[in-house]
Every structure is written in C-alpha cells, then in structure tokens.
Structure 1
Amino acid sequence: MPDASTDTRRLRSWEHCTEPPLTVAALLFLAVYAWEVIADIHGGQRSTAELILNGIWMAFAIDFGVRLVLAPDRGQWLAHHLLDLAAVVLPMLRPLRLLRLVTLLGVLQRSAGTALRGKITIYTVGSVMLLSLIAALAVLDAERHVPGASITSFGDALWWALVTITTVGYGDLAPVTPLGRGAAILLMIGGVALIGVVTATLASWIVSLVTEESAEQEAATRAQVESLREEIRALRAQIEAHGD
C-alpha cells in the first residue's frame, strides 16, 4: 500500500504534466464562451461551441477526480481546492484557472514580503478582470432575450460588472433573471473581498515602509553615537597625553 509521500509524488507529477494543457483549455474555454455569448451564435456554430465547452468540462472533471484520488489527505486537499471544485460544478468559473499563471511570473522578488505583496496584487488585478469579464458574459447570456431586461449588449454587461464588483452600484442596470442575480451575488462577494485584499495589501506596504524607515533611522543613530564615542575617546586620549 503506497504511503503518503508516494501519493504526494504521484499527485505532483500528475499536476506537473496536466497544468499546461489545462491552462490552455481554460483559455480556450474563455475564448469560445465569449464568442458564443457576444456573437449570439445559433445553429451549427452554437452546437460546435457547446461541444468544445463540454469537452473542456470533461477534462476539468477528470483532472479533479484524479487529483482527489491521488491526494494523501482527501478531506484537507478538497478544503484547499474549492475553487477547482467550483470550476467543475460551475462552468462559467473555469477560466479562473488562468490565475495560476501568476506562479510563472517573477515580479517583485526583492524579498519575501514584496514577492508576496506582488503576487497578491497580481491575483487581485487578475481576479477583477476575469470575474468582471465572466460575470458580464454570464449575465448577458442570461438576460439578453428576456422581456424587460436592461442588460442587452456586451457593453452594458461589462459596465454593470465593473460597477458591481467595485461596489459602486449605480442602479442604472440590473439583472432580472435568477441566473443573472446569482452572478450578481457572486460578483458583489468578490467586490467585498477585493476591497479587503486591497486594504490589507496597502496597510502591509505602509507598515513595511515605516519599518524600513525606522530601521534606517536606528542605524543612523547608532552610527552617530559610535562616532561621538570615538570623538570622546580621542579627546580623552589627548587630555591624558597633556596631563602626562
């Protein structure tokens, strides 16, 4: 019976092999989904688009199932991969897998703290862009042909998504379908989380600046004190020399 270390190696090996093609699949899903919704395609084109989207869904579902089986502690692994589960259960969230590309970016690697803040910033910006785009597509797909709907074009849908995720909420556009309102709820939750992340990152950056400045001032003070000590020693030596 394989031990936990063997299962971990198998899991990492599987993820290493499947990460590039699944990232490409997520990008393809976003492109096809956007084409299907924005172009409002019908007939054979829509059937082709749905076939591609369903194939990508199967790939995500198989990958999730294999990783769950290979995980040493399945309960703990599942608790840390709820976004992957959501990507399988909710098709419109699959493009969020593209956020994993941030691990390939070596930005702000001057120290562990700046690297972490840099990654948080990229995750935040990427999340805002992807969530806004996906929510706009989902709401447009749900609302466009509904009588009395105010969101009937991609421009309106994108404007609604941006003012919703930033918690501005002008109220000029609002979804009327259950699916559209469900997307609005998720987007508002994302907006609240966004504000929290931005606030925490900004506070961390300010604290870091203050700490660095305090450290520089302490170093300068210690240098000045040491210089005064040297001068006192020199004066004492001169006094003793004259005394002799």
Structure 2
Amino acid sequence: MDHDSRALSRGRRTGHVLTGASALFLASYAVRVLANDLPQRWLNLCLAVTVLCWAVFVLDYAMRWRLSGLGLKFVRVHWLDTIVLVLPLLRPLCVVQIHDAMQRGHDRPRLSLHARVAVYAGLSVTLLGFTGALAVYQHEHTAPNASIVTFGDAVWWTCATLATVGYGDVAPVTPMGRTIAVLLMACGLALLGTVTGSFGSWLIQVFMREDEQRPPES
C-alpha cells in the first residue's frame, strides 16, 4: 500500500471516529439538558462523555496542526475547524468544507454531487437546529420573564431563527441566549447560501453546455 493509500485510509478512519464522537457528544449533551431529573451519577456520566468527546476533537486538531507544518498559520487556514473546536455544537457547519472542495475539484455539472451538497446542508440545518434548540433551552427556560420555557418553544424559535423569519412570539432574554440567536442567524444564512449557490452553479453550467453543443445557425 503506497503513501497516498495509507493517508486516505487513515483519513477515513479518523472521519469515522470523529463522526462517532460527534454523535456521542450531541447525545450526552441532550440527555443532560432534557433529562436533568436523572440521578446525579447518570448526569455526571453524561458530562464525562461530553468532555471525553471534546478531548477527541482537541487531539485530532492538534495532530493535524502538527502534521501540517504551518505553525500558527494553521489556525487561519483552517478557521472553520478552529471555530468548531471552540464551539463543538457547530460541527454541522463542516458542510461548508464539503461544498468548497466540490467547487474546486469539479468543473463539470454533475447533479449527484450538487444534490449531495443539498442533502448534507439539510442534515446540517437539522443538527444545527437541534443543538441550537438545546442550547437556548438550557439557558432560557429558568430565566426571569423568559418566553422560551419548554423545549417545544425552543424548537419553534430555532426554526424561525434559522429561516431568518423572526416572528417575535418567543425570543431569548439572556445574554447567552441572544448570542446563540446571532450565531444561528449567521449559520442559517450561510447554509442557505450554500444550497442556493450550488444549485445555481449547476444550472449555469448546464445551460453553458447546452449553448456549446447547439449547432450553429445557418
């Protein structure tokens, strides 16, 4: 097995590990937020799983930083990974990297690739919305004069925020809740732009190919 094959194999294994760690991180965090009436030992176990998963993210980041040889430049080049490391609940935003790699690696319209980006973006919105609802519910439901008092309220507010609709019937009142709102609005715009940009790019490429293949008028 050559060096490139070994590197690809390592990359796939690392991807599987990070995917599993992300799922465990989200599950343990959800249990701590939604099932806080559990015995303390179970809540402590969920906290330990959350911290362990975050340690996996830190280790992966540190290894890639060391192997890159970029020094502090790595933080700027891989800015999305840096943000996700600090805020692990934003891991669904890694779909932006998939979109960027697709745009740089293919110059022909292939619907399957663009459709895949749309699917990844949809899944990312779902995961991001769920984590955002968890985070805002955790900080809002016990706050004085809070309008987000149930997890259902948090889900409804998150959907409206990601869609940048902003009905205003429920809204965060705590500083952390409002910070989460700003992040969700920015993420919603970014992911929506990813889908519409990918679809628009595919349409333009298809039309260009049709024009090139059209026989000249006599």
Query: TM-score, normalised to structure 1's length?
Result: 0.72
The letter of the residue matching 1:184 is A
Specify the SS of the correspondent of 1:73: coil
Question: How many residues end up aligned between the 2 structures?
Answer: 207
Q: Name the amino acid aligned to 2:56.
A: A
Rate the CA distance shift 1:75–1:120 in 2: closer, same or farther, 3 A: farther
Q: 1:97 to 1:55 in 2, by over 3 A?
A: farther
What is the aligned partner in structure 2 of residue 66 from structure 1? Answer: 63
Of the three residues 207, 213, 216, the one matched with 1:210 is 207
Question: In the alignment, is the contact (CA less than 8 A) between 1:27 and 1:98 conserved in 2?
Answer: no
Aligned equivalent of 1:148: 145
Structure 2 distance, partners of 1:183, 1:168, is 16
Match of 2:136 among 132, 139, 142: 139
Which residue of structure 1 aligns with residue 89 of structure 2? 92
Shift of 1:119: 3.6
SS at match of 2:109: helix
**Which residue does 2:103 correspond to in 1?**
none
Cα distance, 1:139 vs structure 2: 0.4
- Choose from 3, 20, 23 the match for 1:24: 20
- Of 185, 188, 191, 1:188 maps to 185
Residues 30 and 164 of structure 1, relative CA distance in 2, 3 Å threshold? same
- Contact 1:34-1:137 within 8 A present in 2 as well: yes
Question: Which residue of 2 is the match for residue 38 of structure 1?
Answer: 34
Task: Answer yes or no: is the 8 Å Cα contact 1:11–1:70 preserved in 2.
Answer: no
C-alpha displacement of 1:138 = 0.5
1:176 lines up with 2:176 in the alignment: no
Distance in 2, matches of 1:155 and 1:129, equals 15
Counterparts of 1:166 and 1:124 in 2: how far apart (Å)?
Answer: 13
The residue that corresponds to 1:167 in the other structure is 164
Map residues 3-18 of structure 1 onto 2, 5 A cutoff. 15-18=11-14
User: What amino acid is the match of 1:151?
Assistant: I
For the aligned residue pairs, the C-alpha RMSD in angstroms reads 3.1
Q: Which runs of 4+ in 1 moved over 4 A?
A: 8-14, 97-100
In the TM superposition, what are the counterparts of 1:219-238 in structure 2 within 5 Å? 219=215
Q: Which residue of 1 aligns with 2:102?
A: none
Cα deviation digits, residues 198-237 of structure 1 (max 9, x gap): 3323322332342244345x23x57xx6xxxxxxxxxxxx
Letter of the 1:49 partner, please give it. C
Give me the TM-score of the superposition, normalised by structure 2: 0.79
The aligned counterpart of 2:109 is 113
| Counterpart among 119, 122, 130 of residue 119 in structure 2 | 122
Mark the CA change 1:209 to 1:97 in structure 2 (over 3 Å): closer, same or farther.
closer
> Given residue 181 of structure 1, which amino acid in structure 2 is its aligned partner?
R
**1:150-171 per-position Cα deviation (integer Å, ceiling 9, x unaligned):** 1122211111111101111101
Secondary structure of 1:170's counterpart equals coil
Percent same amino acid at aligned positions? 36
Structure of greater Rg: 1
Unaligned runs of 5+ in 1: 1-5, 104-110, 226-244
Alpha-carbon separation, structure 1, partners of 2:74 and 2:50:
26
What's the secondary structure of 1:113's corresponding residue?
A: coil
| Contact 1:68 1:77 survives alignment (8 Å) | yes
